[in-house]
Structure formats: C-alpha cells, structure tokens
Amino acid sequence: MSESENTTGLCVEGCEECPDLVASRSRIVNGVGPADADVVFVGEGPGANEDEQGEPFVGRSGDVLNAALADHGLSRGDVRITNCVRCRPPENRDPTDAELANCRPYLDAELEAVAPDVVVALGKVPAQHLLGRDVAVTKEAGTIETVAVGDARLDVLICVHPAATLYDRSQEDTFESAIEKVATIVGAEGGQSS
Ligand code: URA
C-alpha cells in the first residue's frame, strides 16, 4: 500500500494482540482513502483477496461497492474504506468480541481523525460494533444513528453488506438506496439513480 493511500498516519504496523489473527493473516490491512473523506465505509474484516493485496474491499464485495459508488456519482478514490478488524480471521470466520475490542482503538482513532459526515456500517458486524446494540440490518438499512467516537459524535448509516447482494438479489435495492443516501449526504453529483 502506498503512503498516499494512507495519509492519516494511522497505519497500524506490527500489532500482535490477537493470536489467531496473527497466525492467519499475511499482513495487516489498513484503511485506504483520503484522510479528510466525507464518508468512511466500515466492513467486518479482510477476506482472502484483501489479505493478499493489503487493501480493504478489493474482491467481489469491493466490485459491488465500487459499482454502486459510481452509479451515484462517487468513486472509490473519494471515500475512505476500512474494517472493524485489520487482520483476516481464520477461514473467514466472524471476528470474536475480543478481536473486535483489540482493534477498536485503531478504528476509533481513524474515525476521529477523518471526522467524516457519515460512517457507513457495511453489514451486521460493523453495525452492531459501532452502535453497541443488536441490529436487524435488512430492516434498519438506511437509518442513521449518532454515536460518540472518542471526542467526536458521528452519524452512522446502517447498510447491508455488499456481499449480501451477491447471494440475495432482493438486497440490491436496499444496498443501492443506502448508497444513494450517502451520495445525497456528501453532495455527490452526476449519479444515475438519484
Ligand atoms: N468484507 C469485509 O467486510 N471487508 C473487506 O475488506 C472485504 C470484504
């Protein structure tokens, strides 16, 4: 990953807090995108492609996210993309509560530094992690809740995970509507569906 992609100075290096993740990862996958982005997308954790390439959302989920951004006048380079945990869990299992807690200071520091207009929680794990409560993602997608992150108060938009649209076509509209809302919040122009 190049320096220009990680301008916040919040690159995590050499963390060994989570034994399972240290064993399963090839590398730490830090967030990418502008340090002053208006929107930060937060996923669950790196998968195989992300672990290999060292960048969040570069596999099929990333393709879905990139396409939805483009449909609504945004490009991947305009936004910041990060994850709740920065190391690939073994066999892509969900991160444990302990792993989420260990990585939380890095996520909070990144969100506080970027101070975006909106944080998009991509799927159940990030939504519950950021909001600190149970979330029915499909039902609550598109809703916004304000949370304290360090000294900041940030608006969190609940969104279905882009991968959900790949195995359940009925999630496509829900995902697109949430991205459309993001584009409206950040004042993106030129979208095809707005
Ligand atoms: N899914 C995630 O939640 N994060 C990624 O980086 C890739 C896929």
pLDDT by residue (tens digit) across 76-110?
Answer: 999 999 999 999 999 989 999 999 999 999 999 99
* CB 57 near ligand 1, within 6 Å: yes
- Going from the N-terminus, what domains does the chain have, and what CATH number goes with each? 38-186 (3.40.470.10)
Asked whether the predicted pLDDT for residue 6 surpasses 80, the reply is no
Question: What would the mean pLDDT of 42-62 be, rounded to a whole number?
Answer: 97
More confident residue, 30 or 151: 30
Strands (DSSP E) along 15-151, which ranges? 39-43, 80-83, 118-122, 144-149
Residue 5, pLDDT score: 47
Residue 194, pLDDT score: 37
pTM: 0.93
More confident residue, 189 or 133: 133
CA-CA-CA-CA torsion sign (182, 70, 9, 86): positive
For residue 36, the one-letter residue type is D
Confidence class for position 9, pLDDT limits 50, 70, 90: low
Question: What would the mean pLDDT of 148-163 be, rounded to a whole number?
Answer: 96
Q: What is the number of the ligand 1 atom nearest to the C-alpha of 161?
A: 3
* CB 56 near ligand 1, within 6 Å: yes
Instruction: Assess contact for 145 and 134: CB atoms under 8 A.
Output: no
* CB 47 near ligand 1, within 6 Å: yes
Residue 3, pLDDT score: 39
153 C-alpha vs ligand 1 centroid, how far in Å? 24
- Reported as type and span, the H/E element at residue 29 is none
Both structure tokens of 36: 């002053």
Question: Which residue puts its alpha carbon closest to atom 7 of ligand 1?
Answer: 57
* CB 89 near ligand 1, within 6 Å: no
* CB 165 near ligand 1, within 6 Å: no
- Burial pattern 23-44, b for ≥16 Cβ within 10 A else e, equals ebbebbbbbbbbeebbbbbbbb
Determine phi and psi for 120, rounding to 5 degrees. -105, 115
Question: Which residue puts its alpha carbon closest to atom 8 of ligand 1?
Answer: 57
Residue 188, pLDDT score: 87
Instruction: Say how far apart CA 123 and CA 128 lie, in whole Å.
Output: 9
Asked whether the predicted pLDDT for residue 150 surpasses 90, the reply is no
| SS3 of residue 91 by DSSP | helix
23 C-alpha vs ligand 1 centroid, how far in Å? 19
Residue 2, pLDDT score: 42
Asked whether the predicted pLDDT for residue 4 surpasses 50, the reply is no
Asked whether the predicted pLDDT for residue 10 surpasses 80, the reply is no
Question: What would the mean pLDDT of 122-151 be, rounded to a whole number?
Answer: 97
Asked whether the predicted pLDDT for residue 39 surpasses 80, the reply is yes
Instruction: Assess contact for 86 and 102: CB atoms under 8 A.
Output: no
Ligand 1 binding pocket mutation candidate from 25, 29, 50 (most atoms within 8 A of CB): 50
Residue 7, pLDDT score: 45
* CB 44 near ligand 1, within 6 Å: yes
Residue 190, pLDDT score: 56
Give me the interface pTM, i.e. the ipTM.
Answer: 0.93
Q: What is the number of the ligand 1 atom nearest to the C-alpha of 29?
A: 6
